Amino acid sequence: MKLQTYISAGKIQEKVAELASVIDNYLGDSEAVMIANLKGSVIFFSDLIRAMKSRNITTDFLSTESYAGTEHTGTVKITRDLSMDIAGKKVVLVEDILDTGLTLSHIMRYIRDIHQPADVKICVLLDKPANRKVELSADFVGFTIKNEFVVGYGLDYYEKLRNLPYIAWVEEE
């Protein structure tokens, strides 16, 4: 397997700062909850909340299973639920990539129906609209990418390569 740099670490950090500013403006002085879907979004999420200026945010995590290797299974299972009450609060759900949309649409329905926040917005580092299987879009998008398999900065290849500080596309040899 050969890796080709797709988005540099520097460009990612510039975009994270830009997204943090836009989300800060959206939240204003509201009490809000930033939620990361583990595992892939944890690096992006950490950098994003550190770049935010808001002092009224709390953080929480949920975890889902929907992929087997590099393929979406077609089903989404919540394996770790939120640990705090988010009813009536503004929520920003942070995800590494919006690909098929199956996972995020399931999470959005679940959060709205079960946890009843005042509002939920989606923030993704990467948006891959060419692969979308459901009608869903993110409110805050870092980069729109073509339909390539990418790794790094939290995105994995069989649980490996999440630790790359940049995003690379995988060139099969």
Spell out where the chain has E strands.
Answer: 2-7, 32-38, 57-68, 71-80, 90-98, 119-127, 140-144, 150-151, 167-171
User: In sequence order, what are the beta bridge partners of 92?
Assistant: 34, 121
Quickly tell me which residue has 């923030």 as its tokens: 123
Q: Is the peptide bond before 15 cis (omega within 30 degrees of 0)?
A: no
Least Cα distance to 154 among 145, 163, 142, 144 occurs for 163
- Whether 99 is a known active-site residue: answer yes
The CA-based dihedral angle spanning residues 112, 62, 60, 30, taken in that order and rounded to the nearest 10 degrees: -20
Catalytic residue among 24, 60, 96, 99: 99
Token digits for 143? 């980069």
Residues forming the active site: 99
